[in-house]
Amino acid sequence: MKILIVDDDISSGSAVAEFIKEQLEYEIKLCHNGEDALLALKSEDFQMVISDMRMPGISGLDLLRKIRLLPNGDAIEVVIMTGFADMESTIQALRSNAYDYLMKPVNIEELAILIERVAESFRLKEKNVNSNSSDHISNDKKEETERVKYYETTIRDITSVGKIGVFSNAMRNVVKMAEQFHEDRNIPVLIEGETGTGKEVMARLVHFGQYTDLQQPFVSINCSAISPTLFESELFGYEAGAFTGARKEGKPGKLELAQGGTLFLDEIGEMPLDMQPKLLRVLQQKEMYRVGGNKAVNLDVRVIFATNRNLKLMVDEKTFRSDLYYRLNTGRLYIPPLRERKEAILSFSQVFLDLYSKKRERRFRFISKDAKKMLQDYDWPGNIRELKNSIERATLLFDDLELKPEHLRFIQADDNNFDNSDQVLVPGRIILPEDELDIEQLELEIVRKALKKFDNNKTKTADYLCITRSALRSRMNKL
């Protein structure tokens, strides 16, 4: 598809044209007035025109009317870029069969979806012309249709799911499997992936599927945040007087609270070994007993697990039960780290840039070529969460039309001022900086480094730092 951009604002028009060419990969031509645009339309074939409304000489509305008088004018889809002051003219444009309009400053997500919608309509028209069978669609066209569908999925809010970015073939396959697992509530689902890859977001997709109005509960537990002595009562609940300090009326556990819905057990690798056979029985028998109780409670609960650890290796090391592992592995989803799907980095970056620019009322709309290279060359050890936080930080600290390398220098500097050398931090030999020292920031940096050192194993990290797990969790919340 070939697109003509018409905007007398050189910087704005160039930015829109660059985004369409670089990100959406469509052929474009840029004109800065209506007269040049008409000449281009008479000499070249365009399927779509995106024009500013207010321009000297021929306005966007005048251009639309002149396009409709061209021999092929009715086949060209025209989108008007407008401001609130031009809404009356915009209404006239829609009455003159404009395809749609975009408010300025242009929202990147809306622009991308609008262009893909137009492109899809042209693809379907070509299919109907070139095919004798109305239900025959080539594999290429199927793939393009799915690409549009999944791009729209990134924008649509699924109830309580948040935004799901599907910008790679690997993630497209993961999403398809998640939707299939949604259909069978009896299959336990294990989601594996590094920290920050979006395991809970995928768990919510398994729970909600494509239903935005699903009312069944989604109950989440972080296994690393529960004391081993409290795990059983937290999961199964307890009867009145089951133990010292128990409520007189007893208390339902998370499994009962999730009846009819889903229980999500995050960081399942942190579950105590003595709890694992009890959980396995729940999965197999679909029933449980409260602590101190002798009456079975029938369960109608889908159970989803997530981990950033290698459970197979833990099985070999006898730190995770093999029978539970193989039961969980029935419905397995693996989310690859961001460094293994680099084609998704720029798409995620653009979505986050638009999101936080709106939130903080910044002018950011596009990403410069040098910044794109910088984003793609970085390994993103914290995955999508780190990328999201980095874009948010850039919009917090800076304000510009384009995101540039100078706005992202902190990712190369490892996001701190204390990592300028390879020296080990040794008590008794600490050299303080000349300027002020943010001791809380230094403490958090030490915690972050320690977590990385032990591959996010919180028990080993807490032992290494000589603090309790609850103290570590408190600092991680600040991170």
* Range scoring the smallest mean pLDDT among 209-218, 273-282, 353-362, 466-475: 209-218
pLDDT at 133: 43
For 406-424, give the DSSP string. GGSHHHHTTTSSS-SS---
* pLDDT band per the 50, 70, 90 thresholds, residue 192: very high
CA angle 254, 257, 260 (to 5 degrees): 120
* Range scoring the smallest mean pLDDT among 112-121, 122-131, 344-353: 122-131
pLDDT at 123: 77
- E strand or H helix at 42: helix 34-43
* Range scoring the smallest mean pLDDT among 206-210, 243-247, 337-341, 427-431: 427-431
Tens of pLDDT, residue by residue over 218-273, are 999 999 888 888 888 889 988 887 776 667 778 888 999 999 999 999 999 999 99
pLDDT at 273: 92
Q: Coil, strand or helix: which one is 128?
A: helix
pLDDT at 119: 85
pLDDT at 428: 54
What's the CA gap between 376 and 9, in Å, rounded? Answer: 30
Percentage of residues of the chain with pLDDT beyond 90? 38
Task: Please compute the mean of the pLDDT values over residues 95-123 and round it to a whole number.
Answer: 82
Q: Inform me whether the pLDDT recorded for 212 exceeds 90.
A: no
Tally of CA atoms within 13 A in the half-sphere of 244 that contains its CB: 0
Domains defined along the chain, listed by start: 2-129 (3.40.50.2300), 169-334 (3.40.50.300), 340-412 (1.10.8.60), 416-479 (1.10.10.60)
Tens of pLDDT, residue by residue over 29-83, are 999 999 999 999 999 999 999 999 989 999 999 999 999 999 888 889 999 998 7
What's the CA gap between 276 and 280, in Å, rounded? Answer: 6
pLDDT at 401: 83
Tens of pLDDT, residue by residue over 282-341, are 999 999 999 888 899 999 999 999 999 999 999 999 999 999 999 998 899 999 999 999
How many Cβ atoms are within 10 Å of 281's Cβ, its own excluded?
13
* Range scoring the smallest mean pLDDT among 127-136, 184-193, 245-254, 292-301: 127-136
* Range scoring the smallest mean pLDDT among 279-283, 287-291, 435-439, 458-462: 435-439
Choose from 79-88, 89-98, 155-164, 328-337 the range with maximum mean pLDDT: 328-337
Percentage of residues of the chain with pLDDT beyond 70? 84
What's the CA gap between 186 and 43, in Å, rounded? Answer: 62
pLDDT at 64: 93
Q: Coil, strand or helix: which one is 190?
A: strand
Share the mean pLDDT of the chain: 82
